Structure 1
Amino acid sequence: MKKLLLTTLGVTSIIIVAACNNNEENGESTIVEVNDTSITETEFIGELKDGFGEQMLNEMVQSTILNDKAEELDIGSEQIDEEFQSLKENYGVEDDEQLLTMLQTQFQLPVESIDEFKQDVLRPELVISEISEADVEITDEDKQEYYDNNKEDLESVSARHILVEDEETAEEVKNQLDDGEDFAELAEEYSTDGSASEGGELGFFTRGQMVEEFEETAFSLETGEISGPVETKHGFHIIEVLDKKESFEEFESDIENTLREEQSIPAEEVMQNLMDEANINVEESTYEDWIQS
């Protein structure tokens, strides 16, 4: 995959032109002529090597090591395709070309096709992941213990609110809600914060993300319950809890991912270990100090 080189070429243009002279050397052919200045291929490649050569050489070495390791671990197209489908599901994308566009624009990955992405990104990541998690063991007891020890931090609430400046208005809004008025419509009419256009919805939040008085009330309400006026430094809130996540089953997958990450070997360490284990012979003395081992 063409990595940082593609995004950094423009930065070197001034340096390249400055290094060029007006005469072709040793009969070399000119690849670009700017006014009276000729840029030869040797000059162009030399500037790239001086600016990015060490980085690119190490990337090429690492890519070779990872490809060899993928063969050794028998990471084939079926496993790569499975990971690819999982990625699409995680990002809510059904179409391959839609995902490719996302990778190119949102993530700035210089991949030109899905096949290139699978081979140059997913395959190496699977190698790193498989080695990183080789010794990871997570039991049901581990997950339950983590949940018991972190229950309060894990619990989250989805709520909406109507924020007004004074208690009298808050009481008026609460009375209208008690009379059956629509919460979202009242939020749009009365609420003074940015959530008004969304019907007052705030999404899910955990403890520590809201001001203390708001948080205390939200976590004490049952799903579907609406509070009376709650005063905070922002004004007076009427809060309705829309949903709660608090059971072990709701957090089990997230807990497993957290424990897996804690037990896994960091990717940088995995790559360094692979570099240390590889048979790397620098045949040209000029490059002896370039390889990061």
Structure 2
Amino acid sequence: MKKTKIALVACITGAIALTACNDDGDADNESGEEIANVDGTSLTEEELTNELKNEYGQQLFNQMIQDTILRQQAEELDIGEEEVEDELEDMREQMGVEDDEQLLEMLQMQMQIPVDSIDELKEDFLLPQVVIQELSTAEVDISEEDKEEYYEENEEALTEVEVRHILVEDEETAEEVLDELEDGMSFEDAVEEYSEDSASVPEGGNVGTFPQEGHQMDENFADAAFELDEGEVSEPVESQMGHHIIEVLDRNETYEELEEEIESRLTQEQSKMPEEVLQELMEEADIEITDNEYEDWLQEPGAMPMQ
């Protein structure tokens, strides 16, 4: 399921931001104490609290209920530290970071997610996510026959290649690079000396693995890559970025090589949507609104923005 998880990473913002709004639970919400004064106009804590309540109250109210239900489910399912740590490791891998400090920096700076610690990330997002994932796949049943049939029907589309490349400005330079490679220069050294793709240079020109269908690569680039055998180097390939020398590092095309990916795809197809899981949990939960002020605040998960 790794390839489906990355989509959920983008949903962290709401859950953590709303949780953060509720962290200062000891504040006196009825306080009329002044917290600022603007040219003689007093601003009070009560006014601030009312503004926050009017703006975010209903959303936070529903998020708190959902969080409570999910934490109860985590206990019922006996989901513990090990499962959450596995989820954290998957997140590091998907986001291309090696340690927690880098992960937090990426979440905070690049994705604008206000999470201050790994413990907060695990408690406020990853634990609920593990619960939803486990419940969404609880009824999934995939047989060996299902996987083999899927492979037979989608063999070409499933084929994957891992490639590295050298990007240069024009065909003449690309031919010069090919000559250097034929004369014994290593591909890594050629990447370092010639490639203009700054993003892949630190990786030795490696741009990762992508499937024959559903990829985000330039079509000329992808078509050329899939015509190569493992270890084979291409002639100059023109794309919108320039001219490429491509080498295929790995090629996955047999059932054995693609079985994990096939199972992941079939699992995703059969899994319940997170909204459906939450809807079922809320219908099964005994939710009693004990203050009349909030009796109209409860919403169905489908009516709420996903956190």
Note the C-alpha offset of 1:240: 4.0
Say yes or no: does 1:47 pair with 2:54.
Answer: no
Give 1:152 deviation, angstroms: 1.6
- The DSSP-based 3-state class of the residue aligned with 2:17 is coil
1:80 shift after superposition? 3.1
3-state DSSP of counterpart to 1:244: strand
Read off the aligned partner of 2:47 and give its amino acid letter: E
Q: Distance in 1 between matches of 2:290 and 2:263?
A: 46
Q: Does 1:222 align with 2:229?
A: yes
* Unaligned ranges ≥5, structure 2: 1-14, 22-29, 301-307
- Report deviation, 1:244: 2.2
Tell me how far 1:207 sits from its aligned partner.
3.4
Q: What's the counterpart of residue 285 of structure 1?
A: 292
**Aligned equivalent of 2:275, options 265, 268, 271:** 268
Partner of 1:18: none
Q: 1:196 to 1:164 in 2, by over 3 A?
A: farther
**Deviating more after overlay: 57-66 vs 170-179:** 170-179
Counterpart in the other structure of 1:62:
66
1:125 aligns with 2:129: yes
- Counterpart of 1:30 in structure 2 is 34
TM-score under structure 2 length normalisation:
0.70
In structure 2, the partner of 1:207 is 212
> Equivalent residues in 2 for 1:76-95 (5 A)?
76-88=80-92, 91=95, 95=99
Deviation at 1:262, TM superposition (A): 1.1
- Supply the RMSD in Å over aligned alpha carbons: 3.8
C-alpha distance 247-287 of structure 1, shift in aligned 2 (>3 A): same
Q: What's the offset of the Cα at 1:136? A: 0.8
1:3 maps to 17
Distance 1:44 1:147, change over 3 A: same
Shift of residue 89, structure 1, vs aligned partner: 5.2
Residue 265 to residue 36, structure 1, CA distance change in 2 (3 Å): same
Whether the 8 Å CA contact 2:31–2:46 is kept in 1: the answer is no
Letter in 1 for 2:44: T
**Deviation of 1:58 (Å):** 0.9
Specify the SS of the correspondent of 2:37: strand
* Aligned residues between the structures: 272
8 Å Cα contact 1:164-1:190 kept in structure 2: no
In the alignment, which of 131, 145, 160 is matched to residue 165 of structure 2?
Answer: 160
Aligned-pair distance for 1:146? 2.1
Letter of the structure 2 residue corresponding to residue 243 of structure 1: D
> Which amino acid in 2 is paired with 1:30?
E
CA distance in 2, matches of 1:108, 1:232: 33
Aligned-pair distance for 1:231? 7.1
What's 2:147 paired with?
A: 143
- Counterparts in 2 of 1:74 and 1:190: CA distance versus 1, 3 Å: closer
Distance 1:129 1:46 in 2: 36
- Percent of aligned pairs with the same residue? 49
CA distance change for structure 1 residues 271 and 29 in 2, over 3 Å: closer, same or farther?
same
In structure 2, relative to structure 1, the CA distance for the partners of 1:119 and 1:253 (3 Å cut) is same
Q: CA deviation at 1:120?
A: 1.8
Corresponding residue for residue 265 of structure 2: 258
Counterpart of 2:250 in 1: which secondary structure? strand
Please say which of residues 282-291 and 221-230 is displaced more in the overlay.
Answer: 221-230
Is 119-128 or 200-209 further displaced after alignment?
Answer: 200-209
Q: Is the 8 A contact 1:162 1:237 kept in 2?
A: yes
How far has the Cα of 1:203 moved from its partner?
4.6
Q: Secondary structure at the match of 1:65?
A: helix
1:95 deviation in Å? 4.3
SS of equivalent to 2:165 = strand
The CA distance in 2 between the partners of 1:229 and 1:28, in whole Å, is 72
Three-state SS of the structure 2 residue aligned to 1:136 is: coil
Contact 2:174 2:245 in 1 (8 A): yes
CA contact (8 A) 1:159 1:218 kept: no
